[in-house]
Each structure stands twice: as structure tokens, then as C-alpha cells.
Chains A and B, each alone.
Chain A
Amino acid sequence: MNKRVVQKLLAVALGFGLATPLMAADTIKLGVAGAHSGDLASYGLPSVNAAKLVVEQINAGGGIDGKMVELLIEDDVCKPEVATNTATKLISDGVHVVLGHICSGATKAALPIYNNAGVVVMSPSATNPELTQSGDYPNFYRTIASDDAQARTEVDFALNVLGLSKIAVIHDKGDYGKGLAEFARLFLEKSGKAEVTLFEGVTPGAVDYSAVVQKIKRSGAEAVIFGGYHPEASKIITQMRKKRLDTIFISDDGVKDDTFIKVAGKYAEGVYATGPKDSSSNPLSKKAVEEHKAKFGSDPGAFYENAYSAALALLNAVDKADSTDMEAVRNALQNNDVETPVGRIRFDKIGDAMGVGFAMYQVKDGQYVEVK
């Protein structure tokens, strides 16, 4: 008789336990997945270090609501086929939130598995635009800007800050330049506010771009958005100015390079270019880097600050949500600001971090200055 009562009580407790995992678990399990071995290990290992440092601090401060944070580290070697196993392994170990994965392909493969298990995932480095924009992965967040963020910044700046309505989009036919230009064209067309007067690729290395400059002039564009690198950009801007064309020139971080200013000289003045937001003056960023040096005796590697920020954001959300339930964590991520090394961030509905990514710079007196 007694035995049965105990069993029933246990079953009830277990049932409650499943419904509210946090109450049943005595630790919060933070998974860290990514490439920890193989060719791309240098992209993944910094996030393990970042997670270790963040968890150490939180545990030293008494954990989250009295619960210690436990790390579960799993390697996916950046391969999609391995990443699905990694995800399954983490879930069977009872993971609550995951920092990872590192590569876009692996992340994409693993996400549905986490989604079915109700686990929120935050990547410090997967930049594929579809991961957030497709809407297929409601459990996905990231602390890095997506690949099209630069084009978005350029277009927003042209339309909303400069108030332009006729824009020519030029690129250098390369993967980077053309990719950016295509996103810029897409955003311009979608906005309905501006007309793309010209969309063309130029041949890199050509001796003269005056024909395409004349074409830009004829198209009546108020501004040129150029996707590509600085050697072509400096030739085009020089010839535009020499042909007495004062069309606004907006470009990307391939042009936000001091060589551009050195080469284009006085013609570089007034040129706009997007570049990664400078977080090096952020005290949290300095602190994170120093912690790494103190603990591991070396400079942190790629995506370290993004990973550090992601770990902070995830654990902060669990704290605010008082639960590891997916919906509660998502709510917390979207409705709370959190101070991180990459700045004060909060997440939008599709999972991108707001306030992370690119800023617009302008050449003033031979230097790039951030446009506020």
C-alpha cells in the first residue's frame, strides 16, 4: 500500500517535473556546440573558452536563482551530418539552452532537432541570412549580423537618413561584391521608396571606368551603392569626381579600408562606407578580453566576443524567464536588454540581435568617422 502511494507521488512529481524542467533539474545545462577539432576548430574553440568564463562567473556569484550552471561541450567539426548527432546527444543529456553552432550549415542541420525538443539555440557566428529570415527556426538567435546586414545598413542609410529615391547599384562581379549588391537591390525594390536606376557589374582591374561613370550619370542616380573592394572603388570615385559628377558614393567594409583613403586621396572625401561596429572601447569587451588573457594566457580568437555575449544573453534570459521553457526564454530574449561585450543588445522577433552589426562611416579629412 505504502509503496503504491510513494510511486504515485513520484509519478506526479515527475509529471510536474517535465512540465517545469527548471524545478526538477538541479543545474542549468548550457550546451556548447561547434567545431572543436578539425580544420575549423579555431572558429569554435574561442566560444568554449567564452562559455567557461561566463559560467565560472555566474556560478561564483551563486548561479541562477540558486542553481549552478553546468557546461555540456560537444564537437560538431562544422559538418551538418555530425551536427545532427551532436544535437541529439546534447538533448539526451538534458540540455536547456545551447550556445552554437559555429558554421551556418551545421547550425541549419541541427536546429530542427533542438526545436522539437524545445531548446533555444544562439550562435555567435552563423551568418546565413535564411537562418533568421526564413521563419523556419523560431528557436534560433544570434549575436552576429547576418550576411545581408551590410546591404541592409547601406539601404536604410540611403533611404531613411539621406532620403534618396534614385540609386544605382554597381558591383565588381565577385562573390562578395555581387552578393552584397544583389541584397541591396532586393531591399531597395522591396522598400518601394526608391528606384534602382542601374544594376551593373564592372570588370575588376580595368584601366578606365569612365563609360560606366557616364552611364551612372545618364541614369540620373542620386547615389551609387557599390559592392566590392577598394581598388575599383577608388578608381570609380576618382573618375566620377573628375567627370564633375558629385553623386553620393556608398559602399561596404571592402572599401572601409585606409588604403582606399590613401589611394583616392581628396576624392575619397565624403564617401560613405559600412563597417563593423567598433566595440573595442566597450568596457565589457575589454574585460572579456582581459579575463581570457588571465585564464588562458593568450589573446581570444574568432567570434570570442560574440560567443561571450551569447552566453551572457542566454543565461540572462533564463534568469529573467525563471524557466528554461522555450517560449519563456524567447520572450525574455526579445523583451530584455542585456549588456554584453558587443554592446547593449536585445533580440528581434526573427532572432537577430538588434544593435549588433554594421555602422555607417564617412570619410572626413582623410579619416573614416562613424556617422551618428
Chain B
Amino acid sequence: MEYFIELFFSGLTRGSIYALIALGYTMVYGIIGLINFAHGEIYMIGAFTSFVVATVLSIYGFPLLSIIVLAGLAAAVWSASYGYTIEKIAYRPLRQAPRLSALISAIGMSIFLQNYVLLAQSSDFQPFPELIPDFDFMEPYAHFVGSSDVVILFTTALAMAGLTLLIKFSRMGKAMRATAQDRTMAMLVGIDVNRVISLTFVIGSALAAIGGMLIASHIGQINFFIGFIAGIKAFTAAVLGGIGSIPGAVLGGFVLGLTESFATGYVSSDYEDVFAFSLLVLILIFKPAGLLGREEAEKV
């Protein structure tokens, strides 16, 4: 039983990491129907920005809490500006083009950003400072769940709740939903569609940056390639949960993380990915739109 609980928490940690990144994928897809492959790179750039800022601040001896806040803020702003720019130069000109063109453009952007960071930084792994300290009150539970695991879990929950509230109840959210439903119609009733889409990218990128900082601090190392690997898994989680659905991304992340963890624990970690992707195939066979995805009727 204790082993089960340990594996459960391992799965939860993994799941919340996937979910935190998956939120950005699913939000962009929900609004404009584009799989933003560069999202993993935005996450990676966020991690690098917070790395640089945190390193500089810790040299000047700032207290830990202010380092987290400032590094997180800097990463969020920097990544958001990347998200905004990418949308403007790589996706907006292709908005009327077939979907495939935007997809290829997204993949191109992803490769471009990876190589840019590779050249600007280095191909080596960099040690990421431990921004989340071991809390004293967590000590009795440390052998199965760490402090950084809990922080990531809460951030994911908070982000999910915040995004759901934003989309459901705010004026901006209403505009987002309208844009998602029918872009032309939204434009006709006076919604600035471009602004809505830009904002979606800004929010998604800022979230990815915060995630990048927390996850990198949990793992303890970064390089230019982390966004790609984490991005693929997060994208899988988003599809699993129903791409376009905010709670779906979180659920998908947890299902994927728990499956991997239990597969490792009870079978073998050699087969971790085999189990994870078999599950994906099974779910998509029976629920093609994902766990929480809504099957949309074809617009006529």
C-alpha cells in the first residue's frame, strides 16, 4: 500500500509537470485551432531566462523569495514577448492559409528557437539553482513527495482554475470563446480578433515560463533541448484529455503521469512509454476527441 502511494505521488508529480505545459498547448488550440509546436521552446526560454536572472540575483545576495518572484516575473515577461512575436511573424500571415502551412511554420519556429538557444547559450547541461527550498513541515513526507512537487502541483491547479475562470467569466474570455466559435462572426460583431489571439499567446507563454522555472528547479538542470522532450509529452497529455479543453489538459497530464509511474513501478520502466502511448491509442479509439473533448458537429 505504501508503495502504491509512493508511485501515486510520483505519477502526480510527473502529471502536474505535463499538465502545466499542456495548458498552453490546449489554450492556443482551443482558440485558433493551431498546434503551437513552438510552445515547448517558449517553456525552455522561460527556464533559461529565470536561470539567468536567478543566477545574477543570487550573486547579489537577494533573499530566496524575491529571487523566485523576480525571476518568475522576468521569465514570464520575456517569454510572453516571444509568444507575441512568434504569433505575429510566424502565424498571423498564415491565418488564411491551409492549416498545414501554419503547422509547418510552428515546427520551423520550434527548430529555429532550439538552435538559437543552442548557439546563444551552449549545448551543455547547466545546473539550475534550487529555487524551491525543502520546507520543514514537508520533512515527514519527504520520502514520497518533495516540496517542489507540491509547489508544481498547486501551481498547476491554480493555473487551471484561473484560466477556467478567465475564459468562463471575464469579458476577454467571452471574446476568446466567440473567436473560437466563429472567427469571422466575432469580427463582424466588433471583436478585435487579432488582439484576442495575441493575448492568448501572451497568457499561454507567460504560463509556460513560470512552468519552465518551477520544473527546471525541480529537475535541477536545463539545456536547449528540454522543451522538445517535455513538449512532446505535454502535447500527448493535451490530446489525451481532449485538446482545446483546459480541465482536459490537466486530466490528461495526470492520466499520462500516473500511467507511466504505475507502469514503471509494477511492470518495468523499460516499457513506460509503451504503456503511456498504448493508453493514448486506446482512449482515442473509444473517445476520438479525448477524455473531456467535445465532439464538434461539422459547421455547415
Contact = CB atoms under 8 A, between A and B. Distances in A.
B142 A244 contact: yes
Interface in B111-170: 124-127, 134, 142-144, 146, 149
B13 A210 contact: yes
A211 B265 contact: yes
Interface string A190-209: 00000000001111011110
B183 to A, nearest CB: 35
Nearest to B228: A205
Most buried by A among B127, B143, B260, B269: B269
Interface in B209-260: 215, 218-221, 223, 225-226, 229-230, 233, 260
A243 B269 contact: no
A344 interface: no
Given A231-B221, A235-B219, A212 B7 contact: no
A109 to B, nearest CB: 35
B17 A207 contact: yes
Contact of B7 (A202, A211, A235, A242): A211
A200 B270 contact: yes
B81 to A, nearest CB: 26
Given A201-B270, A214-B144, A243-B146, A235 B265 contact: no
Interface in A97-153: none
A211 B142 contact: no
A214 B221 contact: no
Contacts of A234: 125, 220-221
For the side of the interface on A, what is the size category?
A: 20 to 34
Interface residues of B, number: 41
A243 B144 contact: yes
B110 to A, nearest CB: 16
Given A205-B229, A207-B14, A263 B270 contact: no
A242 B11 contact: no
Nearest to B260: A211
A265 B217 CA distance: 13
Nearest to B263: A211
A200 B226 CA distance: 23
Contacts of A200: 268-270
Contact of A214 (B6, B134, B142): B6
A173 interface: yes
Contacts of A212: 264, 269
Given A208-B17, A263-B125, A235 B220 contact: yes
Nearest to B229: A205
B60 interface: no
Contact of A203 (B3, B125, B226, B273): B273
A264 B221 CA distance: 8
A272 B223 CA distance: 25
A259 B126 CA distance: 8
B198 interface: no
B26 interface: no
A262 interface: yes
Interface string A222-242: 000000001100110010001
A211 B221 contact: no
B10 interface: yes
Contacts of A173: 270
10 contacts: A205-B226, A207-B14, A210-B149, A214-B10, A214-B265, A235-B219, A244-B142, A245-B143, A263-B126, A263-B221
Interface of A: 173, 200-203, 205-208, 210-215, 217-218, 230-231, 234-235, 238, 242-245, 259, 262-265
Q: What 10 A-B pairs come out closest when comparing CB atoms?
A: A211-B264, A210-B10, A211-B10, A211-B261, A205-B229, A214-B6, A263-B127, A201-B270, A208-B14, A263-B221
Interface of B: 3, 6-7, 9-11, 13-14, 17-18, 124-127, 134, 142-144, 146, 149, 215, 218-221, 223, 225-226, 229-230, 233, 260-262, 264-265, 268-270, 272-273
